[in-house]
Structure 1
Amino acid sequence: MSATSPARRAKAPDTRSPLRKVLTSFGFQIVVALILGIALGLLARSLGASATNHTPLSDTLATIGTSYVTLLRAAVVPLIFTAIVASISNLRRVQNAARLAGQTILWFAITAFIAVSIGIVLGLVIQPGSRAGTDLKPGDPYTVGTWWNFLIGLIPQNFLGLQVTSAADPASGAITSTVGFNVLQVIVVAAAVGIAALKAGRKAEPFLVFTESLLKVIQRVLWWIIRIAPLGTLGLIGSAVVTYGWERLTSLAWFAGAIYIGLALVLFVVYPIILKSNRLSVRQYFSGAWPAIQLGFVSRSSIGTLPLTQRVTERNLGVPRGYASFAVPLGATTKMDGCAAIYPAVAAIFVAQFYGIQLEWWQYLMIIVVSVVGSAATAGTTGAIVMLTLTLSTLGLPLEGVGLLLAIDPILDMGRTAVNVAGQALVPTIVSQRERILDADLYNAPRDGQPFAEDLDDDRDDDLASREARSLATVSLQEGDLERASEEDAALTR
């Protein structure tokens, strides 16, 4: 596969005025939605809205935000399943498929190691636990992560990893059920189906063709959902301001500051250094990945942002579709430099300092090991909280310390998720560059503010189809040569 794609169809010249280009820019629309959301949230609070006191404006913001996240989550399961099955079928045509997977996992570990090291240094330098407010009250975590639960969670409970949770209302006795899914189980099932389809050979071709067609339909639906992201952003950020406000940062200001300093160092220092060391433009990376980073910040969900992350990785950063559809969903469940590296490192040190516990050198080493190895334990659960309880239980620190931090967790989760999403787009880009399969023309192309325009989708599909046609022709010729050679050997034997 070449580093650059074939010549694309000439597109009609862009005749939009400069003002219209700005107004129709996806990034500009997201920024405007952020500002309006904050303003409407503050307005709702000034009118008496809070986490316990609802008003029409606050309810409207909450409904808009939750409805958009629900739409994104609804598309995740079919996207992951079809994308992984299709990507496995595509990877069979790439000679270095195993190397791509190995390089992906290696870079996941490298960046996680750097992030957790930064978290440990910040925890020791800033001492957030020693500076915490006196009004903090320990509490029980609402979920606990363990290594055993992680291993059990790998076993699919059903075909699509769906989970049904029922609860009874103490007052009315009514039973309500909610349906969720374990993303890691979905990946396990999809990988098994994809590998089985490859083993089945030609008899599975109709299934693979159907899966690729279904993936194309799902991606088009996702394009429609992504187009209304500014509206969802407005509701999400406005509802967050109403529910949590900014005053909760008072007693945990040093802790929150340490987290955000660490996130900023990883996002704006570590990632650019990695890009530069691989001869990639930092500006082009951020301009390409920024729509997904912005949506991750306001949605607080790597899984909910997955459709957009995958699209910017392919459309803006030039990562081949077959590889991106494998690496990005995997990264959305296991590549979490914010939730699984910086946050548990700083939080574990915070808990130890708050309770006056002196950590030994080997415990700091365990923080690094748990962050690098155990980030997959956050898949399909409550993210950073599970990772933190896993870290505390491994170190023998009191789990009640998690309750100290729950008050401001949503505010921290915004920054954590933004860094998670940035890393999930970074690693496939780096690996593609190192393996010389990155579409350099697409990566360095000017951003026109319409990264999800349908004509771009069609052009990329045409390019991919032409490359696959040539690959299939080569494979067919090779298979024909092998069959003829086998027949000649059999004739000689007879």
Structure 2
Amino acid sequence: MEQALEQPTPKGFWGGLALWKKILVGMILGVIAGSVLGPDAEMLKPIGTLFINAIKMLIVPLVFCSLVVGVTSMQDTRKMGRIGVKAVVIYLSTTAVAISIGLGLSHLLQPGAGLAMTATAAAGDAKDAPTLVQTLLNLIPKNPISALAAGNILQIIVFALGLGVALNLCGEKGKPAVQVFESLAEAMYKLTELVMKLAPYGIFGLMAWVAGKYGLEILLPLFKVIGVAYLGSVLHVVGFYSAVIKFIGRLSPVPYIKGMVTPAAVAFTTTSSSGTLPATIKCAREEMGVSKGVSSFVLPLGATINMDGTALYQGVAALFVAQAFGIDLSFADYITIVMTATLASIGTAGVPGAGLIMLSLVLTTVGLPMEGLAIIAGIDRILDMARTSVNVCGDLMVAILVGRSEGELDTDVYNSTEGHSTAGTNDGIVTARQEIA
């Protein structure tokens, strides 16, 4: 009798599914529900909104605590600076490549050709792109508490880095504070585990709302631009990222492609690279074999400044607008778009809809009509899904690359097919306490 009581309770069909499979089921059911209900699917949106709000609740404390713990785990401040420089250089370089892919595909496939639209207002009313000096000045928070309250991720990162370095320099006196942040980080990982269990239900609500609101009637006229953006996203991840891992990291890209499924699925449905950060950290540590120090430092940084998918979208959207309004862009305009989108990516938050902010800067810089922004906004949610997935996949790629170069990548874990076949158990999320040093 006692032995019978000790038997584990069967999880059933739903309980035994991996997280990404539950998310996929939620997406499919959401699309079906939205198609059936139409505009009435708006009533399901609060389910998704609750999930998004819960994710946003995690972002600031998770990023702050993860960064402080990541920095304090690196006793060598020179090493931290070296890793930071590597990450930033790779992030900005891949962003420039991404927007070039978007521009190239749009120039080749002409998604906006034949629309023959006319502008009714000047494009100069939009906010000007921030200068490099302004961007650098805005990195330092005048009041770190205000930065935390406002969710200014860049300023939070700078403050967390500074605090982590200072705690390391304090030596023994700083250890009690370090232990506090480690405990807080553990609590955030646990809270993340609980919130992520709600993902399939929240995603169901979001997808039902999207399908009910946009439908095929609105999507069909813009199907070509959606197709170009998705094609560019696939080429960038499967082609470019895989090539970088193989030829620069000297690793097989297959484990990377398998391991990124869950974070990419979460990013695709939540459209928030910052909100996907818990799943990205979990994947990097437990499936990719990246150490705690590198993953806690590189991934929160990437969730803010790595906007490869968003930059690729800028290239597609800018040329779509130019073609739709019959405006010819020069080679200098192409270079300007690449530079503006790369710079703007540094200060763009990893939250849903941030791509439209960047697009307004790009359109203004090259003098394209701002009406184009309104056209793209109608399908922004669908485009946002693809570009956020690319952003998150890029974060993982850089974490692997930096970990490999620093000798902090467990290649046995990375190459373990068993690890990937069991990924997603326990609802796809286990605590990030299981660290790979």
TM-score by length of structure 2 reads: 0.87
TM superposition shift of 1:181:
1.9
| Residues 160 and 236 (structure 1), Cα distance of their counterparts in 2 relative to 1, 3 Å cut | farther
Counterpart of 1:26, as a letter, is L
> Which of 9, 21, 32 is the equivalent residue of 1:28?
21
Structure-1 residue corresponding to 2:179: 209
SS of aligned partner of 1:302: coil
Aligned sequence identity (%): 32
Structure-1 residue corresponding to 2:393: 422
Structure-1 residue corresponding to 2:315: 345
TM superposition shift of 1:74:
0.2
Q: Which segment drifts farther, 291-300 or 199-208?
A: 199-208
> Which of 233, 240, 255 is the equivalent residue of 1:263?
233
Structure-1 residue corresponding to 2:31: 38
C-alpha distance in 1 between matches for 2:305 and 2:368 = 24
Structure-2 residue corresponding to 1:315: 286
What pairs with 1:53-452 in structure 2 (closer than 5 Å)? Answer: 55=40, 58-59=42-43, 61-93=44-76, 96-132=79-115, 144=127, 146-148=129-131, 150-151=135-136, 153-156=138-141, 158-162=143-147, 181-277=151-247, 278-339=249-310, 341-379=311-349, 382-445=353-416, 446=418, 447=420, 448-450=422-424
C-alpha distance in 2 between matches for 1:191 and 1:64 = 36
C-alpha distance in 1 between matches for 2:363 and 2:357 = 10
| Residues 365 and 455 (structure 1), Cα distance of their counterparts in 2 relative to 1, 3 Å cut | closer
| Residues 453 and 435 (structure 1), Cα distance of their counterparts in 2 relative to 1, 3 Å cut | farther
C-alpha distance in 1 between matches for 2:415 and 2:293 = 20
TM superposition shift of 1:202:
2.8
**Cα deviation digits, residues 389-412 of structure 1 (max 9, x gap):** 222232233334322211111111
TM superposition shift of 1:279:
3.2
**Cα deviation digits, residues 336-355 of structure 1 (max 9, x gap):** 1111x211112222222233
Q: Which segment drifts farther, 276-285 or 115-124?
A: 276-285
TM superposition shift of 1:160:
4.0
| Residues 43 and 86 (structure 1), Cα distance of their counterparts in 2 relative to 1, 3 Å cut | same
C-alpha distance in 1 between matches for 2:111 and 2:291 = 43
Contact 1:33 1:231 in 2 (8 A): yes
Structure-2 residue corresponding to 1:4: none
TM superposition shift of 1:195:
2.5
Unaligned runs of 5+ in 1: 1-14, 164-178, 465-494
| Residues 138 and 396 (structure 1), Cα distance of their counterparts in 2 relative to 1, 3 Å cut | closer
Q: Which segment drifts farther, 248-257 or 27-36?
A: 248-257
Structure-1 residue corresponding to 2:3: none
Counterpart of 2:395, as a letter, is Q
Q: Which segment drifts farther, 62-71 or 92-101?
A: 92-101
Counterpart of 2:17, as a letter, is T
Counterpart of 1:64, as a letter, is I
| Residues 420 and 16 (structure 1), Cα distance of their counterparts in 2 relative to 1, 3 Å cut | farther
Matched, 1:460 2:430: no
**Cα deviation digits, residues 229-249 of structure 1 (max 9, x gap):** 222221221121122223222
Q: Which segment drifts farther, 262-271 or 330-339?
A: 262-271
| Residues 400 and 456 (structure 1), Cα distance of their counterparts in 2 relative to 1, 3 Å cut | closer
How well do the aligned residues superpose, as a CA RMSD in angstroms? Answer: 3.1
C-alpha distance in 2 between matches for 1:378 and 1:459 = 30
SS of aligned partner of 2:276: helix
| Residues 160 and 280 (structure 1), Cα distance of their counterparts in 2 relative to 1, 3 Å cut | farther
SS of aligned partner of 1:428: helix
TM superposition shift of 1:454:
10
TM superposition shift of 1:17:
10
Unaligned runs of 5+ in 2: 1-7
TM superposition shift of 1:18:
13
Q: Which segment drifts farther, 202-211 or 123-132?
A: 123-132
| Residues 109 and 159 (structure 1), Cα distance of their counterparts in 2 relative to 1, 3 Å cut | closer
Contact 2:281 2:432 in 1 (8 A): no
Q: Which segment drifts farther, 413-422 or 398-407?
A: 398-407
**Cα deviation digits, residues 242-271 of structure 1 (max 9, x gap):** 222232223323222221221121122222
C-alpha distance in 1 between matches for 2:50 and 2:14 = 28
Q: Which segment drifts farther, 272-281 or 70-79?
A: 272-281
Counterpart of 1:146, as a letter, is A
Largest Rg, 1 or 2: 1
Contact 1:314 1:321 in 2 (8 A): yes
